Amino acid sequence: MAIGPSAVERWLDLSTEELRAQVKQLVNSRLPGDHAVWQAIRRHPALVPRIRGVLSGLAATAAGSKDEAMQKVWISKARAALDQPAPAPVKTVRKPVVKEVPEQEPEPVIELKQPEPQQKQPHKPAPTMLFQEPS
């Protein structure tokens, strides 16, 4: 089964083992928390606790494996994605109709002159310093 916002709808009917396989694939894909899949998951209040349980199981399974640290990081990111608040619906605002203004003359362009490069002066040698011995 594929991971996508439309596939999340079918996750409600999956067995625990099938859901575990899907969540493991989701965790391994490391999608950002604002991805459409996580948004679709957060819209289903019954699915969120089931996924939390699966994540706990995955964390327990990863304990002692050679990839334990990496898996725990990915699982914690998945938990953080579940904890994100659902974004507020964006209200669209109609833009006011702008009446066309008759063409006006463009403003005059002011040209800025680049300063002329200064000629480099030859390097003067540093004066020679003489040190006297203490008497």
| pTM of the predicted protein model | 0.57
Q: Is 119 helix (H, G, I), strand (E, B) or coil?
A: coil
State pLDDT tens for residues 34-44: 888 888 888 88
What is the torsional sign of CA 46, 47, 51, 52? negative
N-terminal to C-terminal alpha carbon distance within the chain: 95
Per-residue pLDDT tens over the stretch 63-117: 888 888 888 888 888 888 888 775 555 566 677 777 776 677 767 766 666 667 6
The DSSP 8-state label assigned to residue 13 in this structure reads: T
Q: What is the mean pLDDT of the chain?
A: 79
User: Rounded to an integer, what distance in angstroms lies between the CA atom of residue 94 and that of residue 84?
Assistant: 29
